[in-house]
Amino acid sequence: MKNEAFKKQLIHALKIEGLDSQVQDDLLVQLEDVAYARVGNSLPELLSPEQMRHIESMHKAKKSEREIIEWIQAQLPDFDQMMQAIMLDVVEELGDYTKLVR
């Protein structure tokens, strides 16, 4: 996660400040994966049919996931803000994570 301030916000929102930094990072990676999956599920509503066909052709051409994600990000100028909003929604859905691990 590139944005350190947002990372700290998520750690606070999850109430995992007291956990080992590696555990925190692992949880944030999982959270980011969930957000990417949600964006992926929403792509047909966010992109035009032509853009969706382009993604399909990138998959067929065996482009890497990173290349495909970068292309999608270029198509959605507010991608970072959207990801942050989705991650905060997931945190809200999770509630207090520390209650789950105790």
CA nearest 46: which of 7, 10, 6, 86? Answer: 86
Tokens of 32: 């980011």
In the block, which residue shows the tokens 């959270």?
31
Residue-wise pLDDT for 1-59, tens only, equals: 778 999 999 999 888 899 999 999 999 999 999 999 999 999 999 999 999 999 999 99
Tokens of 97: 């994570």
SS3 content of the chain, % helix, strand, coil (to 5): 80, 0, 20
**The total number of structural domains that make up the chain:** 1
Give the pLDDT of residue 102: 52
Length of the chain: 102
pTM (global) more than 0.85: no
The dihedral built from the CA positions of residue 38, 42, 43 and 44, taken in this order, carries a sign that is: positive
Q: Which domain holds residue 68?
A: 4-101
